[in-house]
A and B are shown apart, each in its own frame.
Chain A
Amino acid sequence: QVQLQESGPGLVKPSETLSLTCTVSGDSISYYYWSWIRQPPGKGLEWIGYIYYNWSTNYNPSLKSRLTLSVDKSKNQFSLKLSSVTTADTAMYYCAISRSSGVFFDSWGQGTLATVSS
């Protein structure tokens, strides 16, 4: 049973960079699409982007200029960096995987709340 766990600072200052990590256990990080999805408090879900096992990436155009996704296979982790954050980036951030040829999300982490505030 694969398990995903997000980690990162809960509070980030405006204009700084939000950095989050997703640690995967129970399965190898290879061969899947590894995505980040966020949910502002009380609102709906937004797909942020994915990184594939071959390091190829696909970013949501709304965030592309500020977003970097990476993977560390040796640690079974993948990471998100979102630069120049504003209060609009305050959200619960989930990591999730897609274990098929389609990018739907069959396993999710529990989420980590990132708050942007001075």
Chain B
Amino acid sequence: EIVLTQSPGTLSLSPGERATLSCRASQSVSFYLGWYQQKPGQAPRLLIYGAFSRATGIPDRFSGRGSGTDFTLTISRLEPEDFAVYYCQQYGSSPYTFGQGTKLEIK
């Protein structure tokens, strides 16, 4: 099973700042990585798939990069609605696994 490790566990930033979230895989997943946003009481929402492709309706302030074992989600300028928990997920190898999450909180 591929283990995904996200860092940091919590990120405290202010609206307008840039956020960089990291996801590292225990073995290569090629480009088969997605990112999700989850707000309290809601289901996760797909942001990025294929490491860098934005899902339908996702603003262009969200961008993904990386391949193999190291991936990054960047939010260029934080909006108030961006404060949430973010998960990465690999689908390169079954069982498909998620990282433990990064909580993005308002500083």
B43/A110 in contact, CB under 8 A: yes
Which A residues, 86 to 112, have Cβ-Cβ distances below 8 Å to chain B? 94, 96, 100, 102-106, 108-111
Partner of A58, one of B43, B94, B99: B94
Give chain B's interface residue range (CB within 8 Å of chain A).
Answer: 20 to 34
Number of A interface residues in the complex (CB < 8 A): 20
What is the 8 Å Cβ interface bit string for chain B, positions 26-54, against chain A (1 contact, 0 not)?
00000010101000001111100110000
* Known interface pairs A94-B43, A111-B43; A45-B49 also in contact (CB < 8 Å): no
Q: Does A46 contact B (CB under 8 A)?
A: yes
Partner of A109, one of B43, B45, B94, B101: B43
The smallest beta-carbon distance between B31 and chain A, in angstroms, is 9
B55/A62 in contact, CB under 8 A: no
Main secondary structure of the interface of B (DSSP, over half): loop
Partner of A104, one of B1, B46, B95: B46
> What residues on A are CB-neighbors of B42 within 8 Å?
110
* Known interface pairs A104-B49, A105-B44; A47-B98 also in contact (CB < 8 Å): yes
Q: Does B100 contact A (CB under 8 A)?
A: yes
Q: Does B91 contact A (CB under 8 A)?
A: yes
Q: Does B97 contact A (CB under 8 A)?
A: yes
Binding site for A on B (CB under 8 A): 1, 32, 34, 36, 42-46, 49-50, 55-56, 87, 89, 91, 94-101
